[in-house]
Every structure is written in structure tokens, then in C-alpha cells.
């Protein structure tokens, strides 16, 4: 008689063996997921830094083309007078060579939004300048211009949960130009105000003039924010830490996003370099309690970043 083959060797997995394999795979995935998430967050942080660095380059090109001036952004307000400061005549820019404007009809020019001012330097991007409605629509349209101002860590939540903050308040025309942005601007550099605003003696803003900032490597130009475009202080020689604490009439700690980069933020400086650091002294999320409590104090990183150090 011939040998009968042993078919027990040809059997498949038993149910128990299959469950064991699935369990092992599940454990391995559970171990790998945090590591993969950290790699993804690191990549997003690198891309965010790259976004800010690119914006710094575009702003530098703009300044080179406009006599050493960045675009204006934020409030154009001399003291408490909220009328008539957003046109070439009152800004001392009659030839429209320093700043960027749109024609609101009949040759009435008003300051345009910062993204619109940078649009000519971004490939395939065009923003109309024939009315505030067209400017507003074009800077909010999905595409390269909007992407340039969005941090990848926002995961599109900026369009769901954030408002559309104002890039410019045009008081003379009674209009406001809105636009999505993950990044806020240092209003002490981009905005406009007279000395003594808010009762602060000797306070002044750079009004877009690059050479008015004597310490460009220490002074913040733009940074990660939490749905607030304009970051401001009222008083000389204040830091981004003063912004957090609300010192001198600043916007306060709510401007910072503690989730986006795991408690840190990226900062673009006037000289074009970008770095990052912890928002809180604890390096984590705020402790329960008022701002100024140990768990809610700004880190030394924020305290070292100038907002308006010795503007000329």
C-alpha cells in the first residue's frame, strides 16, 4: 500500500491563531501610532516655518520695490480719530510708492490688505484692485495666496472655527478687508498710530518702514496665532511675553494657539530668520488659574522677543 499523505500540515490558521496575529498587529500599531503622529507633527512644524520664511522673503522683496516699506496692515488710526488716515494723501504717500492701494471708484484710493500687496510676488496669483469687494473676494479665494498664510497644522479647522479676521480697517472708506490666516502681524511695525496713543507717552509705530526697526534680529514680524491677525502693544520696549500677559493694553494670551505645535510657536523676525520655542514656562497647556499663575506664565522665549524695541 502507498503512503497516505499527512494533510494536517496543509491546514490553515485556526481561529485562535488568527486572533493572536490580529492582536499582535494591533499592539504594534498602537505602539507605532504615537511615533507616526510625532513625525507628522514635526513635518507640519517644518512646513509652517517654511511658510513664515517665504512670507519674510516676499515682504523683503516688497520693501525693496517700495522704498524700504512693508505693506500696511491692521488699524490705520491716528490717536482716537478713526477717519481719513487710509488714503495716500494723509499717509504722506501721494505718489503711491510706499504702500499698496485699491481704487474704490472715481480715483479714491485706500490701503489694501497685506495678502493683496504680496500677491504680485506669488506665481499665478492675481488680486484685482478695482474695488474693496474684489480685493476681499480674491484674498479669501482658495488657492496659492490663501495657502501661503495657512499653517498645515490647522488641518483646515481655521475655516470651520476661526473667523475671518480683518487685515485692514479702512475707516475712510468704511470698509474692512478680511482674510484667513494662521499668522499674526506685529502691529507695531505694520500698523499706524501717532505718538501718545492710549495715553502712552513716547509710543510710536514703524508704519511699515524697515529702517525704523534698529534691532531686526530680535523683533517679531509675524508668528503663529489663534485667529487674531493684529498683535499689538501700547508702550516702548515691550516683548511678546507682554502680549501674553496683556501688559500695556496688549491683546492678551488668547492670541496664542497652544495646540497647533504642542505648546510652541514659530516666529518670523524682521531680518527674515525663523525660530520656535515654548509659549508657556511649563512648556505645556495652561494650568487652571489666572494668567500670571506659574502654570500660565509666558516662557523666557516669549520674553526675549521684542515687539517695538527702540523704534526710530
Domain ranges of the chain: 45-303
Report d(CA 178, CA 272) in Å as an integer. Answer: 25
pLDDT on residue 53:
97
Question: What's residue 271's pLDDT?
Answer: 96
Higher pLDDT: 120 or 14? It is 120
Q: What gap in Å lies between CA 83 and CA 59, rounded to an integer?
A: 27
29 — pLDDT class (breaks 50, 70, 90): confident
Are β-strands 175-178 and 109-111 bridged in parallel, bridged antiparallel, or unpaired? unpaired
Give the residue from 104, 115, 156, 165 showing the smallest Cα distance to 139. Answer: 115
Q: Band the pLDDT of 37: cuts 50, 70, 90.
A: low
- Closest by alpha carbon to 112, among 53, 175, 66, 194? 175
Average pLDDT of 126-150? 91
Mean pLDDT, all residues of the chain: 81
More confident residue, 55 or 164: 55
Q: For residue 222, how far is the Cα from the chain centroid?
A: 6
pLDDT-derived band at 82, boundaries 50, 70, 90: very low
In the DSSP assignment, the letter for residue 4 is P
Q: Band of the pLDDT at 21, cuts 50, 70, 90?
A: confident
b/e for 276-304, b at 16 or more Cβ within 10 A? Answer: bbbbbbeeeebeeeeeeeeebbbbebbbe
Q: Which helix or strand (DSSP H or E) is residue 177 part of?
A: strand 175-178
**Residue with the three cell numbers 526675549:** 304
Between the two ends of the chain, the Cα-to-Cα distance in Å is 107
Residue 287 C-alpha cell reads as 494650568
**What share of the chain in percent tops pLDDT 90?**
37
185 in helix, strand or coil? strand
* pLDDT higher than threshold 80 for residue 301: yes
Amino acid at each position: 500500500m502507498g503512503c497516505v499523505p499527512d494533510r494536517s500540515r496543509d491546514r490553515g490558521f485556526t481561529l485562535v491563531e488568527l486572533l493572536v496575529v490580529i492582536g499582535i498587529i494591533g499592539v504594534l500599531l498602537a505602539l507605532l501610532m504615537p511615533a507616526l503622529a510625532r513625525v507628522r507633527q514635526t513635518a507640519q512644524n517644518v512646513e509652517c516655518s517654511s511658510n513664515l520664511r517665504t512670507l519674510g522673503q516676499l515682504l523683503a522683496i516688497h520693501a525693496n520695490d517700495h522704498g524700504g516699506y512693508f505693506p500696511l496692515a491692521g488699524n490705520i488710526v491716528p490717536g482716537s480719530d478713526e477717519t481719513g488716515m487710509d488714503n495716500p494723501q494723509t499717509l504722506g504717500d501721494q505718489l503711491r510708492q510706499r504702500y499698496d492701494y485699491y481704487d474704490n471708484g472715481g480715483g479714491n484710493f485706500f490701503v489694501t490688505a497685506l495678502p493683496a500687496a504680496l500677491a504680485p510676488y506669488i506665481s499665478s496669483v492675481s488680486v484685482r484692485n478695482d474695488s474693496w469687494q474684489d480685493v476681499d473676494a480674491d484674498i479669501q479665494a482658495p488657492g496659492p495666496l490663501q495657502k501661503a498664510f495657512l499653517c498645515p497644522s490647522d488641518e483646515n479647522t481655521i475655516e470651520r472655527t476661526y473667523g475671518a479676521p480683518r487685515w485692514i480697517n479702512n475707516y475712510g472708506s468704511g470698509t474692512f478687508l478680511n482674510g484667513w490666516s494662521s499668522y499674526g502681524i506685529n502691529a507695531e511695525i505694520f500698523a499706524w498710530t501717532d505718538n501718545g496713543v492710549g495715553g502712552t507717552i513716547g509710543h510710536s509705530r514703524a508704519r511699515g518702514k524697515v529702517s525704523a526697526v534698529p534691532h531686526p534680529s530680535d523683533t517679531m514680524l509675524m508668528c503663529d496665532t489663534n485667529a487674531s491677525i493684529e498683535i499689538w502693544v501700547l508702550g516702548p520696549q515691550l516683548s511678546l511675553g507682554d502680549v501674553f500677559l496683556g501688559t500695556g493694553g496688549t491683546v492678551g494670551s488668547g492670541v496664542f494657539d497652544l495646540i497647533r505645535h504642542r505648546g510652541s510657536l514659530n516666529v518670523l523676525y524682521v531680518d527674515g530668520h525663523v525660530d520656535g520655542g515654548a509659549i508657556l514656562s511649563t512648556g505645556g497647556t495652561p494650568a487652571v488659574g489666572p494668567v500670571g499663575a506659574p502654570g500660565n506664565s509666558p516662557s523666557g522665549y516669549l520674553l526675549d522677543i521684542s515687539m517695538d524695541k527702540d523704534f526710530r
